[in-house]
Amino acid sequence: LWPWPRSVQASSRRYRLRPAAFAFRHHPGSAAQPGCDVLDSAFARYRRLLFGAGPWPPPSPSGQRH
């Protein structure tokens, strides 16, 4: 992590993220809901940074499959 946070507790237990299924969501009780442009655009930005811009899985450039 950079910059280093105030307090971090981490363990080796891990969870899988499935790009096709993963989403950022507003908590129902949050003061920000869909339509909050700062967070909506950040959700799109970070999804792109994490998994790329296109659909998941990305199509093979030649259309062929392994």
Partner 1 sequence: VSKDVLVVSVVTEGCNEFPMLESLENYTLTIDDDQCLLAASTIWGALRGLETFSQLVWTSAEGTFFINKTSIKDFPRFSHRGLLLDTSRHYLPLSSILDTLDVMAYNKLNVFHWHLVDDPSFPYDSITFPELARKGSYNPVTHIYTAQDVKEVIEYARLRGIRVLAEFDTPGHTLSWGPGVPGLLTPCYSGTQPSGDFGPVNPILNSTYKFMSSFFLEISSVFPDFYLHLGGDEVDFTCWRSNPDIQAFMKKKGFDDFRQLESFYIQMLLDIVSAYEKGYVVWQEVFDNKVKVRPDTIVQVWRDKKPVTYMEEVELVTKAGFRVLLSAPWYLNHITYGADWKDMYKVEPLDFEGSPEEKALVIGGEACMWGEWVDSTNLVPRLWPRGGVVAERLWSSNLTTNLDFAETRLSHFRCLLLRRGVQAEPIGVGYCEQEFEET
Size of site (CB under 8 A) for partner 1: 42
Question: How many CB atoms within 10 Å of residue 4?
Answer: 6
Closest CA to 47 of 28, 22, 18: 22
Is residue 28 reached through a cis peptide bond, with omega within 30 degrees of 0 on the bond before it? Answer: no
CB half-sphere exposure, 54, CA atoms < 13 A: 6
**Stretch 24-63 residues interacting with partner 1 (CB under 8 A):** 24-27, 29-32, 35-39, 41-43, 46, 49-51
Minimum CB distance to partner 1, residue 45 (Å): 8
**Would you say 1 or 64 has its CB closer to partner 1?**
1
- Residues near partner 1 (CB under 8 A): 1-19, 21-27, 29-32, 35-39, 41-43, 46, 49-51
